[in-house]
Structure 1
Amino acid sequence: MLMSETLRDRLTGRLDSLRSNSMPPDNPRIAMIGNYPPRKCGIATFTGDVHDKLSQYHPEVSVDLYALDDPKSPLHYTNIAGTIDRASPESYLQAAQAINRSAVDAVWLQHEYGIFGGDCGDMVCDFVDTLAAPLILTPHTVLADPSPKQRAILEHLVARASRIMVMSEYSRDLLAESYGAPHELLEIIPHGAPFRPFGRQEEYKARLGLGGKNVLMTFGLLSPGKGLELVIEAMPGILRRHPDTVYRIVGATHPNLVAEEGEAYREKLAALAEELGVADHIQWDDRFLETDDLLDQLEACDIYLTPYLNLQQSTSGTLSYAVALGKAVIATPYLHARELLANGVGCLVEPDSALAIMHTVCGLLDDPQELSALQKRAYARGRQTIWPRFADKTANLIQSCILHDGNHVPHGTRPGLSGVFAMCDDTGMFQHANGIVPDRAHGYCLDDNARALMLMNVAQGLSVDERMQRSVTFASFMQAAWNEDKSCFRNFLGFNRQWLEESGSDDSNGRSIRALGHTLRYSTDAGLRRWARHLYDKVLPHSLNQDSPRATAFAMLGAADALHILPDHGASREVLTEGAAFLYRLLEASRRPDWAWFEAVLGYDNPRLSQALIEAGLLLEDDTYLEAGLESLQWINTQQCSETGMFRPIGSDSFGKPYRHLPFDQQPLEALAAIESAQCGYRATGKRCWLDHAEKAWNWFFGGNDRGVTLADIATGRCRDGINPRGANENCGAESILAFQLSHYSMVTLPEAR
């Protein structure tokens, strides 16, 4: 079924309204993903704190919150953008699409294996693959000895991240050494902490009826591994020296533990206190406290204890809070404690030792001056992590992730050709490069040499001799690629000038026909045109045997060029007629109300299918083909525009995924296809929307893209190999260089296309 007039007008209107935006925003907006209050866990508290502190200290940063939720036990959230059913792949997809539609400047993901659905939380991988905005990753657990699945998940997230925030030097170094995180993407921002005056213990002890007491305290969700039983075991020795001591255990039992065994762990601790005769000196507050209430209780303590048994714990919010409030801290040497309590900020004790805890507590209580000095050192250290400093650092992190460096370059500025010729030798154009240096190991391919011949047909600024020399080199490559025995072109040639195959792909054969037709139409040299006609006539009939949609489209475009010069060329008309019928059948069989396309999947060079149908409609004077080509081209152009109006080509991650398109990796060839097909649409209709879309695709080369990176260099004519989640691929291969060069010449001639 054809697209309705209303839908067509709506799509055209949207293309008209979209505008490129490559300047850094003054008021950035991010989407934040993670657990969120009222869920009771450390990730939820952290996510809530980030949101609240950015709002308080950096109101110019807007945060859209997406809370991971469990529909089996749903919570009531306020002031959030949406929820994600942690166990539903469809929910992740819908959330990612909503985030893309909202056009946020960055996405900040809080990662912990247990909060996402799937095996070890692997549903997060498809989720981040669908996101277009730069990804800020905060991994709350970085394992030194992960399972293969855990390693694969974190490596995947690291590969997708534009910035990685960690809260400890250990996590930074482990991510770099074991998970492949580039050092330049890693930034340490210690866990934030509250800002309160120092030394108000006695005031807050009085509020809790603890005046005259030595107050020890631990707070947080209770679970085995926190080492609380060690403090209880130390209490008899502490009380013998300091009988006016109480140990306050503040916090609810972890909800997951309650679900598994109820309050068995708390009851076990209470039984131990009874057995040791210290129950009267243990105070329980088994609630999940709101922050202000929690801080009031923390202010009432003299010594804060975190005798964790897991020494790999790299982040502890409770430890950060205690240090910032100026508490004397005693901790086992887990990772975060070793870093935060270094240089005399706190006391580290032997793991799993009640005796060590008892001696250290008594030592501090025996020496009030040392206890006070330790508290003052902790408070001074905490000034580096208080919420205003934390908010400043996170706001800077967000800005560093989203800053764009692109500038619009008029398409009338002719690119140099030195970058093209640096990739060539007497055989042809090399396929790949390491940076700007040709990579001989990968040799040559027909695709690139065919495109290089097309460039020589239209390039400006060349002498007659140089144009001829280069054109003959590329034409000679194409001539040698033709395998008479197989009646097809080869594609790949090694640096040793040995062909690596007998038959190239259908698509490479189709592109070769396109280049021959292009040479027939555009070459300024009569001898080259005669050569192209001879080889074109030989190979064209074999294109009728292809069943690849893109190979068919390329052959049709070559035939269309030939028909502009040879209007009575019967073989070209046959290729155009049969190809158009084939593509139209595909479109009619595959399109759905929400998917007006030739196939269930999107691949590379997508607009070429529509472009070929438009050319067939014009040359065969068939309105059915023309309308189908224009409508499908409008549809694919809409898919390749972001909500902010930037060109966002179909990413290579999309290939083979039915009815989905993903934003990365983005290739320069897609911008060329968008520009040349838009030129075709403009020639057919004269509508401004096609010129606008071509302009967006051109701007993509110069920062009008999802990472704000400039890919093309006007001076040399080079172009980097595309955009991945982290930014630009620094290599400058032949395909990318030629895509940029040919895009320029299409943009220059586009206004005259009518």
Structure 2
Amino acid sequence: MRENFNTDKEILVLTSYPPRECEIATYSKDLFDALADGMSRTFSVSICALENGKSRESYPSEVKYVLDVTDQSAYIHLAERINREKKIQAVFIQHEFGMYGGEFGEYLMYFLYSLNKPVYVTFHTVIPSPEEKRLLIVRSMVTIAEKTIVKNKNSVRILVEDYGLSDSKITIIPHGIHPIESKEKASLHKAHGYENKKIISTFGLLSSDKSVETALEALPKVIAGFPDLMFVILGKTQPEVIKKEEEVYRKHLQRKMKQLGLENHVSFVNRYLETPELLEFLQLTDIYLSTSKDWDQAVNGTLAVAMACGCAVVASVNPQAKELLSEDIGILVDFEDPDQLATALTRLLEDDELRERMGKNAIYQAKASEWRNVAVKHAHVLQSHVPGQELIFDLPEISLKHILKLTDRFGILRFSKMGTPDISSGYTLDDNAKALIAMCMHLEFKKDPMTFLLMHKYLSLMESCQREDGVFFNYVDSEGNEHLQNAGDNLEDANGGAIWALGTLVAHREHLPANFIIRAEMCIHRAVYWVKELESPRAIAFAIKGLYLYNQSHQYRHIRELILSLADVLLEKYHAVSDAEWQWFEEYMTCGNSILPESLLYANFLDGKEKYSSIAKTTFDFLLSKTFEGKSIKVISNKGWLQKGEDRSQEGGGQPIEVSNTIQSLQLFHQVFDEEGYREKMEIAFSWFLGNNHLHQLIYNPLTCGCHDSLEKENVNLNQGAESTISYLMARLTMEKAGKGIPFLQDASLVEYQDLERRLIGRNSKFYQKNKH
């Protein structure tokens, strides 16, 4: 976790907190970690821990205050202390009936009436048909609060219908869940001693409200058809329950287990499970059970976590389960009905395809509830109600973790099924060319053998894609052979992208093994003859950029003339379709837009003529006017390109490559024109990856260090293929370079690189012998 950078602005949270063991304490700790890890440049977070009586716990450093909830006067004293703290900008209150002192928690009102800071209240439970005093307390809290946060639509409905409140001050933020890195189920079964078993599980702090006996009563019918079935009951007993009745309920379940002859089919894991172990148990689960008999349960975080782990679900038909579980995710059953439960379990156990499909759909449904997404939603609520509060997203550490996972013996694989590389998808020239560019950028910050090895792989695949006439094909199958798809597609953009990659590599010549440069230059020499025949505007623009970078170290006159002639083609296209309302090169905007104006700057660098820089700036600013709305970016959708005469592209279909290209172009335009607005838009555009988008969800995956494939209208595409992951990495490296102001590569010793050349692609290697032209 990051340190809290911004200590001038602080958010205080009233809540129970670890080491106290309860679900809200765990919730609050997870929320704190997510905010501290993603928003530490915006504000710091501190905690006021709730205690029943004088404090006995040893709390972590973020706990700045402790409140004895049984002491009425302590609420007023706490409010007065907070009022004196100028850096505290707002107070978040985690609320559950029973957490605060007095009837229906009425002591909390003394705190609220004494406080002069903005307040936000999160209701973890909303009780329908309230008694008069409960109603008055809740209505008063909502009236005082800037915003009231609830977990689901049903809670909103109850507050509106039963409490007479307006929904204008109520917002829904789901219970948070941890991101899940998929693990192989069979290995987990073996590790936990459940080999060759079908696993049903339930978890959470145990109490009679969970009605686990309903599941036990359903098991005999299910086991008759599935004798390898195991029911795993995860979690210790609720501490407050133990205080009142010790382990009465657990012993009741154990007696019922023996009465039904289930000793070999039921396993009690009677302890508090740390998150990694809990997630392993849920990932080895085939069906998750939620048998609560509490109709008023406003939130069930355990259900959301099980869904995130890819479990098909069978749940009692309470409001939250009805809201979360569509028929393609799980099955709802009546309260305390073992026959219905047995029928549902049998149906899922008999149909592997249905169960697996439900599990995958559950993962998609649960994505919005990951803790970093929940933190972003809290930050946006705060931004909306605290004057002058700007959100500054923390930059993730640079990592090649998912790049390495996607890369195999031939190059970088094209697609990924969620976070798992799809070997059958094969490879493309386009992806490997972009990966080569990304590694050149990475080299500017970290020079290690792994970076060079990856560069060698990507360059090798590009070489294998070049035909005798110098033209490249794009698609390569999983065995490294040319794919039939090449015959039917226009490959100009991929060819232009290859020139960009090769030129980028040559531009780094002083810091690379000589063999890399020789190989790249030979590819360019064979390709240069067909470049002048390009017709696609994007292919032309890619080629201009690559040839410019290549020619920096050569100053070939014919390359200079070729660049300018290609730039003139773009000018012709601009003049043919542009007018006062449409300042662009085509009658539509598709993907890869920013490279078009960017490429004209390279022509201007060579020629110095204003015609190139003027149209570059005009078209780039026009593009930005179509893709930025205030403090957010909305890229052209691949669901429907932006046509001439239209104002905005439709929602959804936002691709990381478009955001990445925009960030890279913004950096260059900022360097050339020195307009601060370009630098600000870089920050805004990059924040799209971190949750500053219409869904308030991360596109970057901090667990895998990959990037999701697209932002759709209602969900994030969870696949993490090569194009999206490379695009994110290039954007992240561009931000790093801009932040550190590094215009050129740092120096390194020649001996270091000669040694790497011998180790990675030494002159005695078969590859070198094949390619020494």
TM-score (norm 2): 0.48
Bigger CA radius of gyration: 1
